[in-house]
Amino acid sequence: RTLLRGMKGVKHKPQLIVQWIESTIVCAVESGVLSHVPAAIMSRTFQELSNGLAAYARAERLVQVPVPFPLVQLVHFLLGVWCVIMPLIMVEHVRSTKMAGILSFVSILGMYGVNRICTVMETPFGRNPHDLPLVEYQERVNAMLTELLIGLEHEVALDEEEIQRITHAMSMGVKAREIAAQSAAGVQMRWWIEED
């Protein structure tokens, strides 16, 4: 909890959390907790963390780089021209005045609708009804991680007290090798594989 409270002033939280995850993995490898995992799998883990951070940077760029102001002005000017010229073109090509008015209205409304959709899509991150459901995405990721941890409990041959000690130490930011040193009576984590 102290680590989470200390993050309030941190500007680049995702990068810090990825660093924590990578440090935890490295410490777990050095202490032997993950020594059975092949190097290729560990390498892929770091690669996926890096890919996630790169995707975050691209998404952040979407928010920070606005659409150029001259482009916005040009689009608004061209929409104004469309509003003036479209009824004249419709009257010239359609025999019925009512039909020309209806077709002009529909085409102008369509162009303004497309412009409005583009304006909304400029900022996909937020809490508006049409924004990406980031909170739901995060809840799904958290649920998957929780399921993975529950599955891990069944595969690790530790008593309940040892699991609580390790969980508490990890939440406080203690390195994996320090956890192993604090372990009562040198209890070792034994990974087992069910054989058919």
For residue 6, the model assigns a pLDDT of: 66
pTM of the model: 0.51
Cα dihedral sign, 1-11-122-73: positive
pLDDT in tens, 111-163: 999 999 888 888 777 777 878 888 888 888 877 777 766 655 555 555 566 55
Q: Are 111 and 79 in contact (CB under 8 A)?
A: yes
What would the two tokens of residue 164 be? 């609580």
For residue 34, the model assigns a pLDDT of: 80
Tell me how long the chain is. 196
- DSSP one-letter string for 19-51: HHHHHHHHHHHHHTTTTTS-HHHHHHHHHHHHH
pLDDT surpassing 80 at residue 94: yes
What would the two tokens of residue 143 be? 């649920």
